[in-house]
Amino acid sequence: MAQKPGQGVSAQQQPFAVDSPLEYAQQIKTVELPEVVETVVDEYDRVLGDRDRFLWKWIHNLFDAFTLSSVATDRKNTVRNHKTLLTVFITTLDDLAERDSDTTTFDRARHIPFRTETGKAEGEVVAFLADLWETVEAELRTAPRYEEFADIFEYDFRQTVNAMDYSRFLNETPSAANRAEAERYDAYNMAVFPYACVDLMYSPSFDTDELGALRSLLCDLQQMARIGNWVTTWQRELAEGDVSSGIAVCALERGVITPTEVTDPDQATVDRLVDRIKSYGIEAEFMREWEIRSRAVRKRTGELDSIDVEAMVDGFETVMDHHLTSDGLK
């Protein structure tokens, strides 16, 4: 089983370790965001305000747990700040795709990171995202190995955006739900690859000959992170009419729930669907898959020399623990 929050984490990686979700929530509230992040979050609250500040503090507090060991010690705070800003961008864009049903705004905003000509940024949300991306990119350009990994970062970020587009497609066409595509495409929504690229930009000792082995490991670790997110957010998402979670996808694919039932459901319908899905043991099935993947990746810890793979796996187990502890809070 996954460890209790905080166990198996190095002295530099000590996210809050508490058993009570209420106590955990109170601890997260005490996290202080750095000024550069606080400014962006203030603007987010003004323009959208859909997400509680808990989410930004939660991920900011957790980043150290799964930052690659190759990151220079004196740059870890910088890396964490970069990735928190990137998370605000990703989450805002993802909400446009999954929750707001504003395809026009999503289509305009999704091109921002790739310098595609889309005309003047119209609307507060698009303008917010355009300004935020300028900040993200300006920060990343200061990284010692930025030029070396910039193209890879852009490629990986395209996969993250494509994952959001898949979620949008699925919510518009729930009859197309199937687990194979959900696992193949939706996992990239976790942005594990772009986060790792940020780490590599600040990793003076990383051996590029090990890039293929690292990315292979990240595939499994990213799916583990996706499962952690799925099992702790699917009920909230279902109430919002979002069926892109792997758990909802499995329920649709197996006929446990129907596309008609998940289209703009009221709370009473949501409660019935949640009870039905739980009764079929789909959550437990995904938890078993997480355990299998965790054991498998543990056997591969000797594949890299310039990164501590054991610490990587420890970090993603910590992420899972924090997903479970924060169930219903984000």
SS3 143: coil
> Range of 124's domain?
21-325
pLDDT digits (tens, 9 = 90+) for 259-277: 999 988 899 999 999 999 9
291: helix, coil or strand? helix
Q: Does a structural domain hold residue 10?
A: no
Does residue 5 form part of some domain? no
End-to-end CA distance of the chain: 23
309 in a structural domain: yes
Q: What is the mean pLDDT of the chain?
A: 89
CA dihedral 316, 318, 320, 321 (to 10 degrees): 170
Two structure tokens written together for 106: 């999503």
Structural domain includes residue 312? yes
In a domain, 78, yes or no: yes
For the stretch 130-162, pLDDT in tens is 999 999 999 999 999 999 999 999 999 999 999
- Residue 310 confidence (pLDDT): 94
Q: How many domains does the chain have?
A: 1
Q: Specify whether the CB–CB gap between 109 and 129 falls below 8 A.
A: yes
Is residue 330 assigned to a domain?
no
| Residue 196 falls inside a structural domain | yes
pLDDT per residue over 98-138, tens digit each? 765 678 889 999 999 997 655 555 689 999 999 999 999 99
Looking from the CA of 8 toward its CB, the CA atoms found within 13 Å total 18
Higher pLDDT, 95 or 34: 34
pLDDT confidence bin for 18, thresholds 50/70/90: low
Q: What is the CATH number of the domain that holds 33?
A: 1.10.600.10
Kindly report the pTM of this predicted structure: 0.89
Does the residue 14 lie in any domain?
no
The mean pLDDT value for 194-213 works out to: 98
Query: For 146-245, where are the alpha helices, taking DSSP H only?
Result: 146-172, 179-185, 192-201, 211-239
